[in-house]
Amino acid sequence: MANNVKPHLSIGEKLKLIGLSLFVAPCMLAIVGAQVLLFAFRNNLNIRLYLLSAGVRVIFSTFTAREIQTLLPPTEDVYRAWIQRKARLTKDPALKERLQCDIKRLPDGNSSILWVGNRHKARKVVLYLHGGGYVMPSQAGHFECVWNTFVLSGLESDTEVTVAFLQYSLAPASKVPVQLRQAAFALSEILKAGFSAKDIVIGGDSAGGNLTMQTLKHLVEPHPEACHIALDEPLSAAVLVSPWLSTEYSSSSCLEYDSSDMLSRAVMRSLTADASIYEQQSDSDETNSWAKPLECRGAWLGKLHNAVRKIHMTVGGREILADQATSMAKAIEAMKTDVQVTVESDPNAAHDFIVAEGILEQVGEATIKMKQWFKGLL
């Protein structure tokens, strides 16, 4: 799906989708819900967050990418609805003023920056790349999350912060490196708007963490298809929440949490196929290795200090992707760059709980910890 256009389904596909929604998904939800509930109960975990996580797992494992995009509203609509609802519920005029739709189309015509906060007053900006396996539009929870963690942290620390939320094209209609091209346009737009690199943070959750790493790589080893960006100093920081950094799904966290996490290995394999175009080619293929920093711990990681000063990763101790973040941190540290790498793991969390908190409209542990980290940058 390139822009805000929904995929076109045939009559047969529509009937199948109705069947899946009315019969298969509810059954799956009952089964997976019960299984995850038991897991959460036994381990004394947050029931609401784990149930939500089970719901997302059912969506990913029941529907194809095109079906998901038919069922869910596109990112820009979600943004408009979130701004309207949030502004309606907010009484404080100082907050209300920061809740206005402000959309900047990017040069490719298929992506845009959805601004959250007041970009005119802002001294710091967070380029945010949302997750959803590259196939799911963003959720209201993503906006809630960036508002709570970044914009409000700024207000509480007397530093105006705005979030440049990227609406990018979704897979499988748009594959790697389309999203990188769009992220590069967004970063270039932010620099053109007058922000200096030291005031820019880049980050994202899940697939957004993947896109963040791709963008950092682009800064040190430009991708031929993305617009060139010359930084005069490194970006302030990168933040990766439950990042998806590899297409290897056999680590111990992958095996251990395969049936209790928001994502399963089967889901990851199908998302991988949706997002990449290189599956059939050999692993030595140069273009393939470009997007695989973990498998090919190539020289570029050693140049990371030219792109960014700090990398902060957060993972759930009970998620399948936990090992990927740890390996990435080790790979970066092994290169002995000046980049400060921190990994924070919450022993009770599964995948992407900060966004799950956003969806439930609660400021929970993940949000509070991220705010603490972010305020340290301001």
User: At its nearest, how many Å lie between ligand NAG and the CB of residue 367?
Assistant: 24
Say how many CA atoms lie within 13 Å of 74 toward its Cβ: 18
> Which of residues 56, 213, 220, 370 is near ligand NAG by CB under 6 A?
213
The CA distance from 232 to 226, in Å, is 19
Q: Is 275 in the site for ligand NAG (CB under 6 A)?
A: yes
> Which of residues 179, 247, 253, 264 is near ligand NAG by CB under 6 A?
247
Q: Is 64 in the site for ligand NAG (CB under 6 A)?
A: no
Q: Is 292 in the site for ligand NAG (CB under 6 A)?
A: yes
Tokens of 242: 């439950």
Residue 285 CB coordination number (10 Å): 11
Contacts of 230 (CB under 8 A, 6+ apart): none
Q: Is 221 in the site for ligand NAG (CB under 6 A)?
A: no
Question: What phi and psi values does residue 174 have, to the nearest 5 degrees?
Answer: -120, 125
Q: Is 2 in the site for ligand NAG (CB under 6 A)?
A: yes
> Which of residues 53, 70, 75, 110 is near ligand NAG by CB under 6 A?
110
Q: Is 214 in the site for ligand NAG (CB under 6 A)?
A: yes
Task: Select from 32-40, 148-156, 210-218, 226-234 the region that touches ligand NAG (CB under 6 A).
Answer: 210-218
Q: What are the DSSP E strand ranges found in the chain? A: 103-105, 112-116, 124-129, 161-167, 200-205, 235-241, 308-316, 340-346
Nearest to 363 by CA among 153, 184, 191, 58: 153
Helix, strand, coil percentages in the chain from 3-state DSSP, rounded to 5:
50, 15, 40
# binding residues, ligand NAG (CB under 6 A): 19
> Which of residues 76, 102, 108, 344 is near ligand NAG by CB under 6 A?
108
Instruction: Give the nearer residue to ligand NAG in terms of CB position, either 110 or 314.
Output: 110
Contacts of 330 (CB under 8 A, 6+ apart): none
Tokens of 277: 């175009």
Nearest to 308 by CA among 341, 345, 343, 344: 341
Three-state SS at 311: strand
Q: Tell me which DSSP letter residue 131 carries.
A: -
Q: Is 308 in the site for ligand NAG (CB under 6 A)?
A: no
User: At its nearest, how many Å lie between ligand NAG and the CB of residue 33?
Assistant: 28
Mask for 162-191, x = binds ligand NAG (CB under 6 A): -----------x--x---------------
User: At its nearest, how many Å lie between ligand NAG and the CB of residue 45?
Assistant: 28
Q: Is 111 in the site for ligand NAG (CB under 6 A)?
A: no
Q: Is 270 in the site for ligand NAG (CB under 6 A)?
A: no
Q: Is 210 in the site for ligand NAG (CB under 6 A)?
A: yes
Residues that bind ligand NAG (CB under 6 A): 2, 108-110, 173, 176, 210, 213-214, 244-247, 272, 275-276, 291-293
